[in-house]
Amino acid sequence: MSPAILERCRKMVDRPLKRRLRQAANWLLIRRNGLAEMGEGAQLAWETRVPVGSRLGRFAYIGSGFRAPSPISVGDFCMISTNVTIVANDHGVDDPETPMRLAFRWQHHVTVFEADAWIGHGAIVRAGVRIGRGAVIAAGAVVTKDVEPYAIVGGNPARTLRQRFAPEAVACQDALLYGEIQGPGEP
């Protein structure tokens, strides 16, 4: 991340007293939730729990009512609003000799939210999906497949409504956030 952007976050999101309080609270949250990592300035809303082994990037935010069955990886500056749910594909529907109620197919799939993504209130995301950097998921959207970087998606099932920026602006945004332009697939 760009040092200039990190410093802006420290000044605007985490002023000195708040930073010290958050460091203590995050130390407890890491242990309570069994997190693999919790970056500087990361925030969990009151009574929000994330699965064991999850990673939260710097200045990431997860709102109240968040639910996920498997670990998540949340990039720097990512915002996940209230009542967002990650759902698993956990029942088989193809075996005529087994009722669906008994056809469990439980597997852990890590869901990835890349840097600077914004997930709107009440969105539902299928476990194992990758939300690209800078993407916006509309409130109430049902995301069943990967979302490209800087795409704005909405609906059920979610589809691309438009791109956030023109290609030249993407390069500018990447340079601002990262200090250099990132290659495809790099969070």
| From 91, 108, 109, 121, the catalytic residue | 91
Six-digit token string for 7: 């410093």
**What pLDDT, in 10s, does the model give residues 137-160?**
999 999 999 999 999 999 999 999
55-56 and 72-74 strand pairing: parallel
Residue % of the chain over a pLDDT of 70? 95
DSSP state, 90?
Answer: -
Task: Scan for tokens 């309080």, then name that residue.
Answer: 21
Q: Which of 66, 14, 18, 56 is nearest to 34 (CA)?
A: 56
What sign does the dihedral 15-49-145-107 (CA atoms) show? positive
Q: What is the pLDDT of residue 5?
A: 84
- Cα separation of 123 and 121, whole Å? 6
- Cα separation of 151 and 51, whole Å? 27
**Model pTM score:** 0.85
Q: What is the pLDDT of residue 180?
A: 56
**Residues in CB range of 13: below 8 A, 6 or more apart:** 41, 59
**What pLDDT, in 10s, does the model give residues 62-105?**
999 999 999 999 999 999 999 999 998 777 778 888 888 787 77
Window from 16-20, 37-41, 43-47 with minimum mean pLDDT: 16-20
Q: What is the pLDDT of residue 16?
A: 80
pLDDT band at 183 (very low <50, low <70, confident <90, very high): very low
Q: Is 108 a catalytic residue?
A: no
Instruction: Give mean pLDDT, residues 96-119.
Output: 86
For the chain, list the domains and their CATH numbers.
Answer: 3-88+103-178 (2.160.10.10)
Window from 23-32, 134-143, 159-168 with minimum mean pLDDT: 23-32
pLDDT band at 178 (very low <50, low <70, confident <90, very high): confident
**What pLDDT, in 10s, does the model give residues 41-61?**
899 987 788 999 999 999 999
Q: Which of 114, 74, 68 is nearest to 88 (CA)?
A: 68
103 alpha-carbon distance from chain centroid: 29
Regarding predicted confidence, which is higher, 34 or 156?
156
